[in-house]
Amino acid sequence: MSTFEEVTTEELEALESIYVDELEKISEDELRIRIDSEDDISAAPSNATNGDEEPEGREEAFRLYLNVKYTPGYPDEVPNLKLESAGDTIDEQAREEMLKDLKAVAEESLGMAMVFTLASHMRESLTDWIHRQKEAKERDETARREAELEAEQEKFRGTAVTTERFMEWRRKFEAERRTEQAKQEEEKLKGMTAKEREEHKRWKTKPSGKELFAKGTIVESAAGKGDEADGEEIDWSLYSREERERLRRKEEEEAEAVAQMENVHFDSDDD
């Protein structure tokens, strides 16, 4: 028996005792080993949402098959290696990266039976890949939830007020208010007669009560001036409520003063 036959025969016997259910002998120089994750399959990423049942065959979706075809120079040369996936969950790029790493391990194991070493390494690689996929999915899910939360909070977050923003708002507000007031004034004038419009314009040019008070020129009533008031009646609508009240009290005081003077005059006549 040649060295090649001795090595492969002994290795196959050992592998059959280790991988009772996982090993499949395809021919005298080719075999196939099923590779499962070291962890429970629940560690693998899932597309199921809360309340959904796990899809059937999920375990198979995260399973690899290592195909080993011995070459005549084995174990002094690397056998032909191939990785197959039970489903499409493990993409081709991931399998190629795992196979490349597996061949590097085989190069380091030249000169001795290496299939068990390769199968064990493949199992570790599959477990690591599943963990990375799960972590990536969790990061994506966390980022998605944070984005949704940020978008929700943004609805209740106002714009920060700065001096520049306030002044800009104030300019726009005052411009809109002037436009609205001008529109209201125009509508108001349309409903007036010519005389009413003239009186309204005269009233608009009158100083306000605040301006009169500041200048110390409070309007005197026509009654206080007697007949010298040119008979002009006071248009009370042209004055503020405070001015009207002040003028009313002034009239009452003046009328009371006149009445007192008349009483004094009459008393003198009686004497």
Q: Tell me the per-residue pLDDT of 93-119, one tens digit each, with 9 for 90 and over.
A: 999 999 999 999 999 999 999 999 999
pLDDT at 87 over 80: no
pLDDT value at residue 126? 94
Q: Quick one: which H or E segment has residue 67?
A: strand 64-69
Q: At 226, is the secondary structure helix, strand, or coil?
A: helix
Sorting pLDDT into bands at 50, 70 and 90, what band is 10? Answer: very high
Helix (H) or strand (E) holding 33: strand 30-35
Q: What percent of the chain has pLDDT over 70?
A: 72
Long-range contacts of 224-232, Cβ-Cβ distance < 8 Å, separation of 24 or more: 224/250, 224/251, 224/254
CB-CB contact of 169 with 78 (8 Å):
no
**What is the pLDDT at residue 1?**
55
pTM for this entry: 0.52
Range with the largest mean pLDDT of 139-148, 151-160, 205-214: 139-148
Lowest mean pLDDT: which of 21-35, 58-72, 94-108?
A: 58-72
Q: What is the rounded distance in angstroms from the CA atom of residue 144 to the CA atom of residue 209?
A: 63
